[in-house]
Structure 1
Amino acid sequence: MRRIIKPFITAIFVMLLAGCANTKLISDVDPQVDISKMKSFHVVKFEKDNRGIEKLIANKLNSMGLDASSGTNKTPSHPVDVIVEYQDKWMWDLTMYMLELNINFRDPETNYQFATGRSFRTSLARKSPEEMVDEVLNDIFRANKVVSQ
C-alpha cells in the first residue's frame, strides 16, 4: 500500500507545483510594417511605474544599435520613427516580482499601434525586469522578421 501511495502523492505534488509555473510570450506585428527600417524610438514612461522600466527598454533598444530615448512626454522633443508604450504589473510572493510586461509600438503621427509584445510569468517562472524586457523586444523583432520574409 505504501508503495502505491508515496508515488501517487509525489505525482500530485509535482503537478500542483508545475501549475504554479506559467509563462506566456506573445508578439504580434502588422505584416505591412517593416520595423527593421525604423531607427529612432521614444519610450513613454508608464505613469504608475516607479522602477525605471522605460530606461530598461530604451537601453535595450540602444544596445540593438537603435537610437532610443525615454521620458514622460508622449511627444518627444525630437522626431522619432516609433513611440514605445509599456505597462508593467507586479505581484508579491515573498518578494516583489514582475508578473507581466506589455510593450506596444505606435506610429508617432497617426498613433496606430503596429506591434505589440507580452510576457507573463508567474512566481516560479519569474525573470528579472531586464530579462523580461529583452525577451519581449527580441520576440517583437523576431516576429517582424518572420512576417516580412
Structure 2
Amino acid sequence: MRLLLLIVSLASLTACSSTDIRRDPATDLNQFKRFYVETRINDNHATDAVIAAELRSLGFEATHGHLTMIPDDIDVLITYDARWTWDFRSYLINLEITAQHPRTLKLIATGNAHHPGITKKEPAKMVRAIFKKFFKQT
C-alpha cells in the first residue's frame, strides 16, 4: 500500500512535456541560411541568444537583437514568447517560436514547447525540440 501511495505521489509531481508545431507545407525551412532572432524587451533570461546559438549549431547563420537593427539580407525573422515561472527557482514553462518572412511577415512556421512541473528542462533543449520539428531533424 505504501509503495502504491509513493508511486501515485511521484506521478503527480512529474508532468509531461509536449512540443507542437504548425508549418507551411509549401516552404522548407532548410532552404534559408540567415536568421535573425528578435530580442524581447521583457526577457531577462537571454532566450534570444539561446535560440540564435541553437540555429548556429544547426549550421545556419543567426544573430539576435532588436527589430530596428535587423540586417537587410535576413531570410527569416524569428520571434518568440517565453513564459518563465518561479517555484523555488526560475524555470521556462512554455516557449513559442515563430518563423516568418522578414519583409512580408508571412508565417512560415510556429512551434510551442510546454514543460509543466518542477522538473528542470534546459531552455536550449526546449528550443532544440521545436527546431527538430521545424527542420525535420531526426
TM-score (norm 1): 0.82
Secondary structure in 1 aligned to 2:92?
A: strand
What CA distance in whole angstroms lies between the structure 1 residues aligned with 2:58 and 2:102? 21
Letter of the structure 1 residue corresponding to residue 42 of structure 2:
K
Match of residue 120 from structure 1 = 114
Shift of 1:92: 1.1
Regions of 4+ moved over 2 Å: 5-18, 123-126
Q: How many residues end up aligned between the 2 structures? A: 138
Q: Which runs of structure 2 are paired with 1:124-135 in the superposition (5 Å)?
A: 124-135=118-129
Q: Which protein shows a greater Rg? A: 1
Root mean square deviation, CA, Å? 2.0
What CA distance in whole angstroms lies between the structure 2 residues aligned with 1:38 and 1:74? 21
Letter of the structure 2 residue corresponding to residue 59 of structure 1:
A
Q: Structure 1, unaligned stretches of length 5 or more? A: none
Distance 1:15 1:129, change over 3 A: closer
Letter of the structure 2 residue corresponding to residue 70 of structure 1:
H
Match of residue 58 from structure 2 = 64
User: Quick check: which one's helix share is greater?
Assistant: 1
Q: Structure 2, unaligned stretches of length 5 or more? A: none
TM-score (norm 2): 0.88
Identity of paired residues, percent? 26
What CA distance in whole angstroms lies between the structure 2 residues aligned with 1:112 and 1:74? 18
What CA distance in whole angstroms lies between the structure 2 residues aligned with 1:61 and 1:12? 39
